[in-house]
Structure 1
Amino acid sequence: MSRRIAAILFPLPLPEAFDYVVPEDVEVQPGDHVLAPLGKRLARGVVWAIKPDDPARKLKPLDSATGGPPLPEGTRRFVDWLARYLVQSPGIVLRSVLRSTDALKPSPAETVYKPGSGDPGRMTEARQRVLDAAAALGEATAADLAREAGVTASVVKGLAKCGALSEEKRLVDPPFEEPDPDHAGLDLTAMQGEASGVLRRLVRAGGFQSALLDGVTGSGKTEVYFEAVAEVLRRDPKAQILIMLPEIALTEAVLSRFEKRFGVKPALWHSGAGPKNRRRVWREVAEGRARIVVGARSALFLPFMRLALIVVDEEHDPTYKQDEGLAYQARDLAIVRAKLEGAMVVLASATPSLESLANVQAGRYVHVHLPARPGAAILPEIGTIDLRETPAETGCWLSPPLVAAMAETFARGEQSLLYLNRRGYAPLVLCRACGHRMVSPDTQSYLVEHRYTGRLVCHVTGFSMPKPKACPECGAEDSLTSVGPGVERVAEEAKRRFPGARVEIYSSDTQRGAEIVAAMEKGEIDILVGTQIAAKGHNFPNLTLVGVVDADLGLAGGDPRAGERTFQTLVQVAGRAGRADRPGRALLQTHQPEHEAIQALIAGDRDRFLDMEFMAREALGLPPFGRLAAIGLMSQDPANVEKAAADWAAAAPVTDGVEIWGPAEPPRAMVRGWHRRRILVRADKTVDISAYLRAWAGRVKTPSSVRVSIDVEPYSFI
């Protein structure tokens, strides 16, 4: 009888799946989870294929099948495709899929207690407190009841023994409730109804479909794609849906809107959700019981059994790009995953990326347009404040025209948002005596002053230290001064100018993010000072003025997407104003009012700006008209990284349509003590850049003291 051979892929940086003999008493199929010997230990892996026997080969037997929901075929194809495209070992990609080994086991159960009908017998104060707690909580574990009542668990169990409390087993990770597509239909405007009709027709057509939902801020894009979700749920009782968001901070708002529309909350997946929730979501997705998942970019790696629709909300957002570890662009991978699964994908944005608009022009995406806000809401009036003509007072950051506009807004009882994409109090601290600049140890990054905590923080490495009283270079006392504004400094000025106003800061450092958003929605904040997190997806009905403190901030540097990103950010920020029945306006403080991105925003002429960006990119052969890749090298020894970079450059294959730039130092030439070099690759659209990089990597033997990373379509150039 011939042997059965299983190719097993391990979630480790190994080049391929390894072959093992399947013992006669073990039954496995592709996708099953197994234990197999790897070196001197047993390692968890996934059966990637069952292969015909080759009797001449000496192979180890796999140990056992571990059970748990198998990885679906679509997920395995996605891993294989991604490994080829990103020039990574498939095991590294698989590691992003197998996030929770606990999810392979059935849900644990726990005993919960509810009020019962039995006679408690002798009543004591402790017993009464437990019964009161049970009545208030409805059901709870013995530990929770004891904690609530301030007693020991034995008191709870004594009441259960006499029947005063009833006990039952409950799954720790219960299945998610089924969403109801007809729970609460929305009253759509004619324009929204037409747009949702296009998406519903695409759902009914079935198979792989791509659509760009291109709508101005506040036009109701979420309501429109909810109708596509409802259509999928009606048509297929087992279909699964993924809604991707760029920021965790946006999930609460979407969850509440989702619950209102479909009657239940969806499954939630992101890095801050905690291991218990992630275990539950992974298992329920793999079993096909989690019908809808709302998640961050890593949700793309969940093992969906029957994925029918992916929605990428705010598809232009740069946070969909992961730079560290496994580098990928989640928006692009959403298209790939949908194609491999035969699913539909909807990309939604008020400021679509040039890549998505190019696909619309090429006929690859269906263009669904929402050019206006519903009802009485209109787009805000946008104007500039030329800081060359009306600068802020010395030591201040808000110009007289912006301060006057804020005063008018405050007098009407309306809200203002001051936008500055800089966290902390000041982005630089230097010594007035010797000019020394405070930088992070082993990193070429300035320390940011956070005055509320009295600390200097590196936003690259997380290093933090108390602000010293004396300069560490020259020893001068009280010589360290803050240079430039962060949101804390702008908020300080707002409080000084408007002492009666309620001023809050909203940034990624804010611990009370959800609380601040709720307070802003209720009108309990007069002036909100925020970074980019305040500009995304929020609906503040009483917000009528947006002031951009530094509209030039994103225009500097060598990033080829700088103009596009600035335009997108300013549109998103300005779009927070005037979203209800009150007209809004946005004022942009700038030293470059003539810049094409700012001029296009003021004129409301997106097409003119896009035409200029398209022309510039096409002339240079940059995305979406060409391909980019980056090879990063790092070593703790500068000589080693310099030699390795030179070796890589010398080994580059000579191919038509490919240009090699570098090696060179990136702007941050050292991070955490690691010296860095970068090689950029520009290729024509027709070049298979992944195959080129794979062939290149095969020509170079890099010493173990040097780390090498490959980034296909890089977004960060620092």
Structure 2
Amino acid sequence: MPQAPTVTEDSPYRVSILFPLPLPEAFDYLVPPEMCLQPGDHVVAPLGKRAARGVVWAVKPGPGERALKQVEEPAGGAPLPEGTRLFVDWLSRYLVQSPGIVLRSVLRSGDALKPSPTETVYRRGSGEPDRMTDARGRVLDAVEVLHEASAADLAREAGVTASVVKGLAKSGALAELTRPVDPPFGLPDSEREGLTLTMMQAEAAGVLRRLVRAGGFQAALLDGVTGSGKTEVYFEAIAEVLRREPGAQILIMLPEIALTEAVLSRFKARFGVEPALWHSGASPKARRRAWREVAEGRARIVVGARSSLFLPFPKLRMVIVDEEHDPTYKQDEGLPYQGRDLAVVRSKIEGAMVILASATPSLESLSNALAGRYVHVRLAARPGAAVLPEVDTIDLREHPAETGRWLSPPMIEAVRDTLERGEQCLLYLNRRGYAPLVLCRTCGHRMVSPDTQSYLVEHRYTGRLVCHVTGFSMPKPAHCPACNAQDSLTSIGPGVERVAEEAKLTFPDASVEIYSSDSRSGAEIVAAMERGEIDILVGTQIAAKGHNFPGLTLVGVVDADLGLAGGDPRAGERTFQTLVQVAGRAGRADRPGRALLQTHQPEHDAIQALIAGDRDAFLEMEAMVRESLGLPPFGRLAAIGFMSMNPEQVDRVANDYAAKAPNSEGVEIWGPAEPPRAMIRGWHRRRILVRADKEIDISAYLRAWSKRVKTPPSVRVSIDVEPYSFI
């Protein structure tokens, strides 16, 4: 980042301001004599016919050669740190996006630039009321419980009006004080004792601590089997960072919001305070507080989803990507990026350490570790008496379920034996709802979402048909909308609701619960499962991530083949990772676990590798296949998407775009073609896939290509570097 030029108080100078808008570059403005600005300052400046908030990106000497508008005023708040600005610039080039679009992901909370609002609260004062009444007594009792609260909260607790509280304050029985609505986060205590580590865990923690002491950018792959204690190991690395630099900031990234509660409780037990939270489910107030405290350098630890990478850390010293293999780190909508990869980039820019943790590392990360770019830290066993579960398959060709049922006889027998021992079961199926398809028995009509080619999923508990792509929802009709046949709509295939229904019929005395992203009380379900109050948990992928259920000894995968279909080059790897993660929920305490996989393809490489416990052989074979095809991580991929309400127009624009592709050795162009979901919300879709050799700068190639083509406003064009979704 260029240094700001030296300017005197009287010398005129200008600044380049980047706005969080889809604009091609920063714009120059003249700085008024009374104003002193530096790179990173938040300002308000005229943009067209309105005033807009932006960030000073550069300071330039002199007024320039043309007339410029003036900056209107500073916007306040901590300046955007240099590392964040460098990250925005790099990401803009890499993703082939305007820098303003990237900046928009950083400036998520406009209110955070202002100081925290304040509120008046009351605590016990030194005086006594001149006259004691029952109402006043209840208020004084309430303040003993709450210690410090607003008049409204005290009045609600005591069952009185706010005037009673105000009267006690006037008499001196309550002391009035002002405090910020957004208080600072607590400071973590690096000296608190953690759990006693096994010898293997202590060795792994020692490696991470040595990397911390080495300083600067370091990258490590923490590769440990499920239940091996990876969290406690990276907690030791966090403590080392805090001991060396108490003002350091640390980011822990998680793939699912549902995992944050478990991590928060473990973090508080280890460091004495809860970290700041950042994810889409947080309230605007919580996000405002977190953004401000991060920008001011006061939030030492942040636990967040992939978007937390864009927070303005001034002292970022460590980034931890837990479950680094998880595909949800890839964002497809809006600004497309892979959070795991960007965590490494941001750490390098900041001179920070990055730890990628997983029981099933991605082929990309494992290749970097094997090539020596990452330090490879392994945890090959579970601590104590816990051992990895035994894994077996049930060949559905030999042991089919009864007609209209989805659990095979061997699976039913295994569940029954587990329940008789007083242990818990997890039935896993990564399909929400009751059935993935509803069709008419009379005419064959399939229920699909309007203006979309996606099937409507039946949710029987709510009586609705739901599109999981667009969010469209409708009551299940009593007759077929195509032929008007009455009661002819039938459910095809199972979802978790249907499997739960079967489990309740088969085991009427068992407590059965569903755990999916549709569950309204995920934290309560997890807590009940941990307490042993649930016998059979029927869950989607959310149940396979990061949970520790001591009584769970049997995992039954209802459809192990579900992820193997389609044209995704990572399908085998993802299926293997998912099955390892879900099987790893079993036997995490002192009782041995077992995983049973119902499959029509027991001979598939991913399933055979899981049974044999030979991950390395499977990944070696996956690597050979991808290397022979020049696919990631041995080549580069990009997708160019086109959307229009007019199918003829989108075809014309996509074909024109493909015709103007630059000629370059080592680059292949596939398409344009219709993706599997060729229409969403009335928008017709086409796609071009670009494959390039690893040494080619595919971002520069795409930038040069996009400059050759002008597309009409009615056609949306999107670029996705390293796509993960092929539907």
Do the structures match in fold with TM over 0.5? yes
User: Which of 5, 12, 25 lines up with 1:16 in the alignment?
Assistant: 25
Q: Is the 8 A contact 1:6 1:47 kept in 2?
A: yes
Q: What aligned pairs does 1:228-627 form with structure 2 within 5 A after superposition?
A: 228-627=237-636
CA distance in 2 between partners of 1:38 and 1:710 (Å): 27
Q: Is the 8 A contact 2:32 2:71 kept in 1?
A: yes
Deviation at 1:125, TM superposition (A): 4.1
CA distance in 1 between partners of 2:496 and 2:108 (Å): 36
Aligned residues: 718
Matched, 1:154 2:163: yes
2:3 alignment partner in structure 1: none
1:663 alignment partner in structure 2: 672
Give the letter aligned to residue 594 of structure 2: R
Instruction: State the SS of the aligned residue for 1:194.
Output: helix
- Further displaced range: 283-292 or 112-121: 112-121
Matched, 1:42 2:51: yes
CA distance in 2 between partners of 1:216 and 1:233 (Å): 27
User: Which of 661, 667, 687 lines up with 1:678 in the alignment?
Assistant: 687
Q: What aligned pairs does 1:70-149 form with structure 2 within 5 A after superposition?
A: 70-149=79-158
Q: Is the 8 A contact 1:266 1:292 kept in 2?
A: yes
CA distance in 2 between partners of 1:437 and 1:629 (Å): 33
Instruction: State the SS of the aligned residue for 2:34.
Output: coil
Instruction: State the SS of the aligned residue for 2:234.
Output: helix
Q: Is the 8 A contact 2:122 2:149 kept in 1?
A: yes
CA distance in 1 between partners of 2:505 and 2:130 (Å): 65
CA distance in 1 between partners of 2:60 and 2:638 (Å): 35
Q: Is the 8 A contact 1:8 1:49 kept in 2?
A: yes
CA distance in 2 between partners of 1:709 and 1:604 (Å): 41
CA distance in 2 between partners of 1:318 and 1:166 (Å): 53
Q: Is the 8 A contact 1:506 1:534 kept in 2?
A: yes
Deviation at 1:651, TM superposition (A): 1.0
User: Which of 197, 201, 210 lines up with 1:201 in the alignment?
Assistant: 210
1:62 alignment partner in structure 2: 71
Normalised by the size of structure 1, how large is the TM-score?
Answer: 0.99
Matched, 1:645 2:654: yes
CA offsets 1:303-356 (integer angstroms, 9 cap, x no match):
001111000000000000000000000000000000000000000000000000
Matched, 1:5 2:14: yes
Instruction: State the SS of the aligned residue for 2:194.
Output: coil
Deviation at 1:469, TM superposition (A): 0.6
Give the letter aligned to residue 150 of structure 2: T
CA distance in 2 between partners of 1:135 and 1:644 (Å): 70
How much identity, in percent, do the aligned residues show? 80
CA distance in 2 between partners of 1:55 and 1:497 (Å): 80
CA distance in 2 between partners of 1:452 and 1:426 (Å): 11
Instruction: State the SS of the aligned residue for 1:482.
Output: strand
CA offsets 1:642-696 (integer angstroms, 9 cap, x no match):
1111111111111111001110111111111111111100000011000000001
CA distance in 2 between partners of 1:132 and 1:345 (Å): 50
Normalised by the size of structure 2, how large is the TM-score?
Answer: 0.98
Deviation at 1:129, TM superposition (A): 3.4
Q: CA RMSD in A?
A: 1.0
Q: Is the 8 A contact 1:244 1:295 kept in 2?
A: yes
CA distance in 1 between partners of 2:409 and 2:93 (Å): 56
CA distance in 2 between partners of 1:146 and 1:416 (Å): 47
Q: Is the 8 A contact 1:241 1:307 kept in 2?
A: yes
Q: Is the 8 A contact 1:184 1:260 kept in 2?
A: no
- Further displaced range: 195-204 or 112-121: 112-121
Deviation at 1:362, TM superposition (A): 1.3
2:6 alignment partner in structure 1: none
Deviation at 1:301, TM superposition (A): 0.3
2:699 alignment partner in structure 1: 690
CA distance in 2 between partners of 1:521 and 1:319 (Å): 25
- Further displaced range: 539-548 or 124-133: 124-133
Instruction: State the SS of the aligned residue for 1:187.
Output: coil
CA distance in 2 between partners of 1:612 and 1:310 (Å): 31
